[in-house]
Structure 1
Amino acid sequence: MTTPAERTRRVAQVAARHADDVDREGRFPSEAVSALRAEGLLGIQIPERLGGEGADMNRIAETCFALGQACAATGMIFAMHQIKVASLVTHGVESAWHRTLMQRVAQAQLLVASATTEGGIGGDLRNSLCAVEAHGDVFSFRKDATVISYGAHADVILATGRRHADAAASDQVLVALLADQITLERTSRWDTLGMRGTCSDGFVLAARDVPTVQILPKPFAEIAAQSMLASSHLLWSSVWFGIASGAVDRARTFVQAEARRRPGTVPPGALRLAEAVSALQTMKGAIHGGLRRFAEAQDAPDELGSIGFAVVLNNVKTTASTMAVAIVQLALGIVGIAGYKNGTPFSLGRALRDVLSAPLMISNDRIHGNTANLLLVQKGGGQLLSA
């Protein structure tokens, strides 16, 4: 039996072959996602008793890293899928319907997407305008989702909405909707600078007569705090680390080639390469620190929902997203015009365009604002330093 690393490597090779075309055409990386299915990687997080492999966050992060090096869009799709699976695994095991869904994800390698953004509320996923409208044991649902990444290609969409029509905007639930239960009316096209292959179009998502058992039993506030916060920041950051690492690899190859052409001299880019490698190691340390923090808190819901934990994971995201951009820019400066041009062994245009999305999803300013509010009510000063 092949190892997880070998399976990931095979998928990454497929993703890399098609990455330029996916970016150029702004199309879904169907070849890479088919390879993920063939290697059984979409269901690795599902518990073994439900047909999965029970993979932990470290293993999933390693896969995000490898895919990010090969094709950032593929890496991000895999990361977003696993973020939603984490919500099912963490909060759906008490529900028979959601246990069956997890079995299907593992067996049929279903692709899971997210519909948390909504017209009228900006990027604030902790508030909703739409609501679940229950009628007996079924409900209807309609959401103006300004972004549903790879929504047209998903087998399952997890969507947020108010608990009922009279509920407060923050009183939300998470509903699991199967592709054959919904209609998607496209309202916008994902024509962007980078991350073009995520196909994050906008849709009006509508569903009727959906069984109420498909509503996850936990309030979305708990789901967001206890699974989405950590998995989003850690897995996104792992994709960005892959992009940055790939850029530094190209810069290293370029500098080594320069050194071979001029024996006995230090190429001009060598010092900048050392700087880039140092920054990359610092970024890696921040992500690994976040993964350790999550592993320590994973079985303690109170800790996962604590202020200290949220601050630490927020800082992982803002640090990694900022550093990733700086590292790719540094690599471009080392490689120079050969990196600026498309179609060379050292081209970095796609990496730079993709990584520029990092500080924007979710906006670092929004996260810093949230962290500032948390720090205003946190007691004591030693907890963060020891975390």
Structure 2
Amino acid sequence: MTIQTTRPGDAPVLDRATSIEPGLRALIVAGIAAAHAEAVDRDGRFPAEAIEAAKAQRLMGLTVPVALGGEGASLATAADVCYALGRACASTAMIYAMHLTKVACIVGHGIGQTWQEALLERLCREQLLLASSTTEGQGGGNLRSSAAAIERDGEAIILDRAATVISYGAEADGVVTTARRAPDAAASDQVLAVFLKEDYALERLSGWETLGMRGTRSFGFRLRARGRPEQVLAVAYPTIHAETMTPVSHILWSSAWAGIAAGAVERAQAFVRQAARGAGGQMPPGDAQYGKAASSLRTLRGMIAQGLDRYAAAGEARALGSLDFQTAITMLKVETSELALATVSSAMRACGLAGYRQDGPFSIGRALRDILSAPIMIHNDRITANLAGTSLLATVPASLRD
């Protein structure tokens, strides 16, 4: 193993032969993310130091097969990394979770395609950061509908897309985007395409002045891209969405949210201990809220573990597209986002005014503002309404569905 450093305080730069466990590397990155988290939130800036550290620790290709230059880590390991980052900086954790979701789509459905495999090798070699573009126009969070289409221009393909948001789009090395298969295709007839920075131009359409998750810099952009037909994955997007996009994103997002909640619970624990010491051992009024927060955090982590087990079992049984699995993995996002919010809220109540304040070591303000994004990042009401419609159709005889 070779470890190189550039300046004192920088994260170690690892070569491909590293044997350091991903968990330890994640803690190194989390330490750097935590040191800059306040500035990232205050200034609404990209967490450049943390992402550079993740690249130095070779975490960008964490789940890419070893044969293609990656680390070959499991989804469970990736979830642990997102959890560790979430405890330090919510924006860093969410950026990393979105990146790994795009990587998972390419690994899961691009292996066997020469261009896609070469991309994965380059991603690992150069530690590229991939952004996601799956929403556009008035459709908002409807990932299963696209307005812009892939068009042919001689031997090239082009795409002109007005994206509602492209998180960290200006800082990414590439964009993975949905689009209609062709100009005459239905909105639901989608493909997934990968464009690298040299393939596209971005024109900013909207800002990102939000309560939390400020460092994701999720501006709206007009994306104008030009590439080769091979940059479109051969597998139709509905399959990618069901088998990889939804389960991986929901597991990794949930892990990032659990990390945010864990950071808040740790602050609540520290406050309760200090208050008890100052009162001669008498527990403060917020002790019950701390107990509630700690209990709900354990439940939250258990739900994620169950989601990982369910995903592995469905994959082995080739049942990723089944209604039962899709319902469970979709509801994982709804349930964990709500529980994470409740956990952070309980942690703030445990700290009382010390948690409500923006200054001081026990402030829960940033965690609360960040976690408020969880239920509306693809709105829970939209998800449950769509599931209700799907379940209803599944129980109605085909002859009566017209």
TM class by shorter chain equals over 0.9
1:332 paired residue among 327, 334, 348 = 348
Listed as ranges, the gaps of 5+ residues in structure 2 are 1-18, 397-402
Offset at residue 356 of structure 1 (A): 0.1
Q: Distance in 2 between matches of 1:13 and 1:266?
A: 31
Listed as ranges, the matches of 1:74-113 within 5 Å are 74-113=92-131
- Cα distance between partner residues in 2 of 1:144 and 1:48: 36
Residue 299 of structure 1 deviates from its aligned partner by: 4.2
User: What is aligned with 2:329?
Assistant: 313
CA RMSD of aligned residues (A): 1.3
Aligned-pair CA distance for 1:379: 6.0
Normalising to structure 1: TM-score of the pair? 0.95
1:25 matched residue in structure 2: 43
Match of residue 135 from structure 2: 117
Q: Show CA shifts across 1:310-335 (max 9, x none).
A: 11111211110001111111111111
Which residue of 350, 353, 356 maps to 2:369? Answer: 353
Secondary structure of residue in 2 paired with 1:345: coil
1:14 aligned residue: 32
Give the secondary-structure state (helix, strand or coil) at the position aligned to 1:323. Answer: helix
Question: Partner letter of residue 229 of structure 1?
Answer: T
Residue aligning to 2:280: 263
Residue identity in the other structure for 2:206? S
Q: Give yes or no for contact 2:272–2:283 (8 Å, CA) kept in 1.
A: no
Once structures 1 and 2 are overlaid, which stretch shifts more, 117-126 or 178-187? 117-126
Deviations 1:331-377 (A, max 9, x none): 11111111111221101110000000000011000111122123224
SS in 1 for 2:234: coil
Q: Which moved more, 1:305-314 or 1:264-273?
A: 264-273
Comparing 163-172 with 130-139, which one deviates more in the overlay? 130-139
- Structure 2 equivalent of residue 384 of structure 1: none
Instruction: Provide the rounded CA distance (Å) in 1 between the counterparts of 2:88 and 2:197.
Output: 29
Q: Is the 8 A contact 1:311 1:374 kept in 2?
A: no
Q: Deviations over 1:183-210 (max 9, x none)?
A: 10001111111000001011100023x1
**Unpaired stretches in structure 1, ≥5 consecutive residues:** 381-387
Cα distance in 1 for residues equivalent to 2:293 and 2:159: 48
2:106 match: secondary structure: helix
8 Å CA contact 2:288, 2:350 repeated in 1 = no
Q: What is the identity percentage for the equivalent residue pairs of Structure 1 and Structure 2? A: 49
C-alpha distance in structure 2 between counterparts of 1:7 and 1:298, whole Å: 28
Q: Does 1:183 align with 2:239?
A: no
Give the Cα separation in 1 of the matches to 2:158 and 2:395. Answer: 43
Task: Kindly provide the CA deviation profile for residues 21-55 of structure 1, in whole angstroms up to 9, marking residues without a partner as x.
Answer: 00000000000000000000010111111010111
2:139–2:145: 8 Å Cα contact kept in structure 1? yes
Give the AA of the match of 2:312: A
Q: Which amino acid aligns with 2:196?
A: L
Which of 34, 52, 71 in structure 1 is aligned with 2:52?
34
Give the match for residue 13 of structure 2. none
Q: Is the deviation greater in 358-367 or in 280-289?
A: 280-289
Secondary structure at the aligned position of 2:170 is classed as helix
3-state secondary structure, aligned to 1:134: strand
Task: Please state how far the C-alpha of 1:146 moved relative to its aligned partner.
Answer: 1.2
* Aligned counterparts, 1:217-256, within 5 A: 217-256=234-273
Indicate conservation of the 8 Å contact 1:250/1:346, yes or no.
Answer: yes
2:380 to 356, 359, 364: 364
Q: Which amino acid aligns with 2:249?
A: S
Count of aligned pairs = 378
Superimposed CA distance per residue, residues 229-268 of structure 1 (whole angstroms, 9 cap, x where no aligned partner): 1011111000110011110110011111111112242322
Q: Distance in 2 between matches of 1:133 and 1:310?
A: 31
| 1:151 and 2:147 correspond | no
For the pair 1:133 / 2:151, whether they are aligned, the reply is: yes
How much has 1:296 moved relative to structure 2? Answer: 1.4
Indicate if the aligned counterparts of 2:286 and 2:352 stay in contact, CA closer than 8 A: no
| Residue aligned with 2:267, SS | helix
Residue matched to 2:10: none
**Inter-partner Cα distance in structure 1 for 2:361 and 2:393:** 51
Q: Distance in 2 between matches of 1:222 and 1:266?
A: 53
Task: Provide the C-alpha distance between the structure 1 equivalents of 2:139 and 2:383, rounded to a whole number of angstroms.
Answer: 16
Aligned-partner Cα distance in 2 for 1:148–1:365: 22
Q: Is the 8 A contact 2:151 2:159 kept in 1?
A: yes
